[in-house]
Amino acid sequence: MSIRRITIIGVGLVGGSLGKAWKSTVTDDVLITGVDHPLVLERAVASGAIDVASDDTATAVADADLVVLATPLSAIMSTLSEIAADLKPGTIVTDVGSVKVPIVRHALETIGNETLFVGGHPMAGSEVGGIDRASPFLFENATWVLCPPDTTTDDQRYDELVALIQATGARAIEMTPREHDEVAASVSHVPQLLAVALTNTVGRQNESNPNYLKLAAGGFRDLTRVAGSDAGIWRDILAANHGSILDALALFSAELQRVRNRLLEEDFGELHASFDRARKTRETIPKDSKGFISPLADVYVHADDRPGWIAAVATLLADAEINILDMELLKVREGTGGTFRMSFADQATAKSVVDRLKTAGLAAYTLD
């Protein structure tokens, strides 16, 4: 492999996880340089995500064979302009932004013909970011969209980039920038807006009747899990992909109006057919891969009503290096205990948790 020097600009959750994944899977002698704020770089080096820390972007990219732009979406295009003159001929540049049309267009206008730019978007992440959350397994079974230019058909550099991405455990697929943004609008960006809208609707109802949120348990929490996402990050996404998002919202609004009309007409047969279509469609979603919005795998466990129970369970899982991503007390009765729902990265982890908890004498199960 000719890629020996990799520079990652932006060593947060995604950039840091990339560094960790490559350092644990790439056997060749690869040097990874990170560019970010000093405190972030200090933690990135300490955690093993990067080999070299740099606060000088120009120097960091000058000798790089591969440059990864892992900054927030709003900074990717300005960073492209900043580094264009410092890239050596033959360098590969890619990004991890969640909107592709404006980024790919800007790259083609900015960097020279001797540099290969490939738009990229790994469908993996977390509601909480930062280098401290970085994991070498973040991209395992994730879909990674690549938007290569038409000229990459026989380009060895592109093949090496794909190999590096596959080394993280991700599954690379090719799309045009336009296709990516249209698909992302429907399966990622609109669901985010729907979660926010539903949460705010119920929140306003709750202002006059607090029973709304008292009854908002499992199903409501599942539908609105992403409503707590970072508004600043989403502002950039909505601005960059607003055309496709507006089109997708129009389609959803029309579907919602059809549901409303069937209710007005008391056409429960058609509503039943709608449920059937939705179930069959959902069953075709790959269960072994992460998509634009990565689902969490839930484990339900009965909790004894005694001091230290939560600490004991957390310690049991921590000793196995298993991270609890979310936890909710669903039911509780004084003197007898209750039921906790704990969420994990994937079904394999959830199954391992159930086995460990059962071995420890606890009642635990999944719904799968």
Query: Do 18 and 110 fall into the same domain?
Result: yes
Domain at 303, CATH number: 3.30.70.260
Query: Do 302 and 260 fall into the same domain?
Result: no
Burial class of residue 57 in the structure, from the number of CB atoms within 10 Å of its CB (0-12 exposed, 13-18 middle, 19+ buried): middle
| Selection from 131, 129, 125 nearest residue 41 by Cα | 131
| Selection from 170, 114, 118 nearest residue 147 by Cα | 118
Query: Do 122 and 221 fall into the same domain?
Result: no
| Token representation of residue 219 | 């199903």
pLDDT tens by residue, 73-121: 989 999 999 999 999 999 999 999 999 999 999 999 999 888 999 999 9
Q: What is the DSSP string of 123-137?
A: ----SS-SGGG--TT
Query: Do 22 and 37 fall into the same domain?
Result: yes
| Selection from 249, 205, 196, 202 nearest residue 226 by Cα | 196
The helix (H) or strand (E) run that includes residue 120 is strand 116-122
Mean local confidence (pLDDT), 135-147: 90
Which domain, by its residues, includes 19? 5-175
Q: What pLDDT is attached to residue 289?
A: 54
Distance of alpha carbon 356 from alpha carbon 351, whole angstroms: 9
| Token representation of residue 166 | 């596959």
Query: Do 219 and 146 fall into the same domain?
Result: no
> Which of 228, 257, 283 corresponds to the end of one domain?
283
Query: Do 17 and 160 fall into the same domain?
Result: yes
| Selection from 109, 81, 97, 72 nearest residue 147 by Cα | 97
**Number of domains present in the structure of the chain:** 3
| Token representation of residue 46 | 């300490």
Q: What pLDDT is attached to residue 86?
A: 95
Query: Do 17 and 116 fall into the same domain?
Result: yes
Q: Does residue 277 register a pLDDT over 60? A: yes
Query: Do 276 and 318 fall into the same domain?
Result: no
Which residues have C-beta within 8 Å of that of residue 71, sequence separation ≥ 6? 9, 10, 79
The helix (H) or strand (E) run that includes residue 173 is strand 171-174
> Which of 251, 283, 315 corresponds to the end of one domain?
283
Q: What pLDDT is attached to residue 246?
A: 98
The C-alpha angle 13, 16, 22, rounded to 5 degrees, equals 130
Which residues have C-beta within 8 Å of that of residue 283, sequence separation ≥ 6? none
Task: State the Cα torsion 332-213-193-231 to the nearest 10°.
Answer: -80
Has residue 290 been placed in a domain? no
Mean pLDDT of the chain: 89
> Which of 175, 206, 226 corresponds to the end of one domain?
175
Query: Do 273 and 356 fall into the same domain?
Result: no
Has residue 154 been placed in a domain? yes
Domain at 170, CATH number: 3.40.50.720
Query: Do 187 and 165 fall into the same domain?
Result: no
Has residue 85 been placed in a domain? yes
- At 333, the pLDDT band (50, 70, 90 cuts) reads low
Q: What pLDDT is attached to residue 7?
A: 98
Q: What pLDDT is attached to residue 264?
A: 96
φ, ψ of residue 259 to 5 degrees: the values are -60, -45
